[in-house]
Amino acid sequence: MPVALVNGRVLRESGFVEGLAVLIDGGRILDVVAADDPAAKAAIHHDLHGQLLLPGFIDTQVNGGGGILFNDDPSVESIRAIGRAHQRFGTTGFLPTLISDDLHVVENALNAVQAAIRAGVPGVLGIHIEGPFLNVERKGVHDATKLRELDETALKLLTSLQGGRTLITLAPEMTTPRIIRKLTDAGVIVSAGHSNATYAEIKAALDQGLRGFTHLFNAMSQLTGREPGVVGAALDDQDSWCGIILDGLHVDPVVLKIALRSKPHDRFMLVTDAMPSVGIDGDEFMLQGRRITVRDGKCLDETGTLAGSNLNMAAAVANAAQLLGIDLAQAVRMATEYPATFLGLEHEFGRIERGYRASLVLADDDMNVLETWIDGQPAQLTPTRPTTGAR
């Protein structure tokens, strides 16, 4: 029997709309109708008490959560635990993200994601392999000894996942346009990151299907007077997507406001780049043998380099509204519709429309997450404040 989610403010194309019933059944949104529609009356009512009903958040960059780092134990159970930790903050779709590691770890991670998809682990949409095909000059917290060339063996591995999305972050200047074309032809989504590329090198990669930029501004060549760099190329190109870590720490909000003016808003998506500390109270964790301390919302290694973030998606959305001064509906779309489109999943995810997956979030106006559904399966939550980052 269908469930009618009633008495909420539902995010639609036009903004937040009251007086609707969202009918869900069998993991899908059956329909969105007026609250007094006979179909709504016939369904089991679930009262949303005037709160905001949003599409579930989609995070394309999640290294860990709930005390677990994906690299440490690329397994179905890790993916499940990371997903559960982030679901509390409204994430209903995610790509477990592997940072630079040996190829056998990449293989284990792909196998784990494949198995998780087959086992129906809630929310897993594929994998993000960030490195090891990166530029050591922009390595950030990645282990320099893991960085390597993208050869035929790696190519075969990277194109092997079935039934989910594969996102690869690579430094275009460390490979060739021909390899990038082979990846994109095989359906892999390629994003530039940890890159020292010139504008011309990025243009050549865009011509071969480069689709995105990983954590725009962080770990890449910057926009300068005579060389636009990766940042300049990302902002100049009007079609590609930019992931942004909106914790108020990774990039100054003023810089992001300028970026938002330079290309269509729907080309920006919020990511967490979350580390194991998200969803637990601990203030340190290990990253490939290095101790990372969480201080004032920052994850820092011994040298003071930012090591991912302590951000969650609900906080990222709240920060987008607060720090960038954009309206809440638009901020939510940066965590829902836009990443769904980046992943080529815009016909199933990211909107509250008939036929879409019933992956939803109920939140209050401050983005405290109250309830979530993944494929129609509800999870009651203890209200959690999105206290991370600049909030």
Active site residues: 273
Please give, one letter per residue, the 3-state secondary structure of 99-157: ECCCHHHHHHHHHHHHHHHHCCCCCECEEEEECCCCCHHHCCCCCHHHCCCCCHHHHHH
In this structure, the strands spanning 52-55 and 360-363 are antiparallel
> Which two tokens mark 186?
């095989």
Q: Residue 300 class from Cβ within 10 Å (0-12 exposed, 13-18 middle, 19+ buried)? A: middle
DSSP one-letter code for 390: T
Single out the residue of 90, 59, 29, 105 nearest to residue 275, CA to CA.
Answer: 59
- Collapse the DSSP code of 228 into the 3-class scheme (helix H, G, I; strand E, B; otherwise coil) and give the result: coil
Q: Which residues contact 50 (CB under 8 A, 6 or more apart)?
A: 7, 8, 9
**At 14, which amino acid appears?**
S
C-alpha to C-alpha distance for 274 and 207, rounded to whole angstroms:
31
- 254, burial (CB in 10 Å: exposed 0-12, middle 13-18, buried 19+): exposed
Residue type at 29 in one-letter notation: I
Distance CA 94, CA 70 (A): 13
